[in-house]
Amino acid sequence: MYKIVFMRHGESTWNLDNRFTGWTDVDLTEKGVAEATQAGKLLKEAGLSFDLAYTSVLKRAIRTLWGTLDEMNMMWLPVIHDWRLNERHYGALQGLNKAETAAKYGDEQVLVWRRSYDTPPMPLDENDDRTSFNDPRYAGLDRSQIPLTECLKDTVARVMPAWNDSIAPAIRSGKRILISAHGNSLRALIKMLDGISDDDIVNLNIPNGQPLVYELDADLKPIRHYYLGDQAAIAAALQAVASQGKSK
Ligand code: 3PG
């Protein structure tokens, strides 16, 4: 049996402001930094250790990983930064307040943009300052690989090659892995791992900074999964994430 731990980054400044973030590279709040440390404590208490970590190329996930590994006294751990683990690109919604957007377009429409499998938000204009075309961290990519918007299906299409080509072979070789990533890149991975339907994925939310342990069989099929930590607080955090896109 294998174990892998997924973790969404701790609270970011734009989580606090309730803004659509996507590929915008915002940092953690103080609370987010504390959540990363707390995650490290929980992982230690659960007796978990790692041989390799993955994260995105966005600082909120990277800094969360740093805080967690620091608490575990494992800052030496090899880390793979993979752009394919980035948050889902939120298109022209990036920077807008989620509740204000819901007041303008309606809660239903915002739920579709946030959680539907195959309806992307409006794309960024190619000339918009918010595009990532000139960002050096994506210099190795073909322009066609850099999104202007994404639905979850598009995120699945970039996350799964990272799983199949890099993460799954590392698990099979016996490496114990921690992944520090994002709400929707983790929803993409979990959808595929658990075989969640396009309709049911609407109801899956991931809280900030909570280690989520997946136990996998020899074929890397999930046996069970569970969050470490205070289960009532996690349930409340899940509910809070679900409510972020409501006008009131
Ligand atoms: C964002 O990109 O805004 C968040 O990290 C994830 O947002 P969501 O829960 O609204 O999809």
Indicate if 81 belongs to the active site.
no
Atom of ligand 1 nearest to the CA of 19: 3
- Assembly ipTM: 0.97
Separation between Cα atoms, residue 180 and residue 40, nearest integer Å: 12
Residues paired with residue 216 on neighbouring β-strands, in sequence order: 2, 222
84-126 pLDDT, tens digit per residue, is 999 999 999 999 999 999 999 999 999 999 999 999 999 999 9
Domains of the chain, start order: 2-243 (3.40.50.1240)
Per-residue pLDDT at 226: 98
54-94 pLDDT, tens digit per residue, is 999 999 999 999 999 999 999 999 999 999 999 999 999 99
- Region at 229 (left for phi over 0; alpha for psi -120 to 50; beta for the rest): left
The residue annotated as part of the active site, out of 35, 87, 150, 182, is: 87
Sorted by sequence, the CB contacts under 8 Å of residue 154 that are 6+ apart come out as 88, 89, 120, 147
153-175 pLDDT, tens digit per residue, is 999 999 999 999 999 999 999 99
3-state SS, residue 215: strand
Distances, alpha carbon 237 to alpha carbons 41, 89, 126, 170, in Å = 19, 23, 36, 31
Q: What is the enclosing helix (H) or strand (E) of 167?
A: none
pLDDT at 248 over 90: no
Average pLDDT in the 33-58 region? Answer: 98
Q: What is the enclosing helix (H) or strand (E) of 129?
A: none
Atom of ligand 1 nearest to the CA of 244: 10
* pLDDT band of 208, cuts 50, 70, 90: very high
> Looking at ligand 1, which residue's alpha carbon is closest to its atom 6?
183
How many CB atoms neighbour CB 83 within 10 A? 19
Separation between Cα atoms, residue 225 and residue 99, nearest integer Å: 31
Can you read off the two tokens belonging to residue 85?
């683990």
42 CA distance to ligand 1 centroid (A)?
A: 24
Residues with beta carbon inside 6 Å of ligand 1? 20-22, 87, 90, 114, 182-184, 241, 244-245
Contact status, residue 21 vs residue 94, Cβ threshold 8 Å = yes
The residue annotated as part of the active site, out of 9, 71, 150, 182, is: 9
Average pLDDT in the 207-231 region? Answer: 97
Indicate if 87 belongs to the active site.
yes
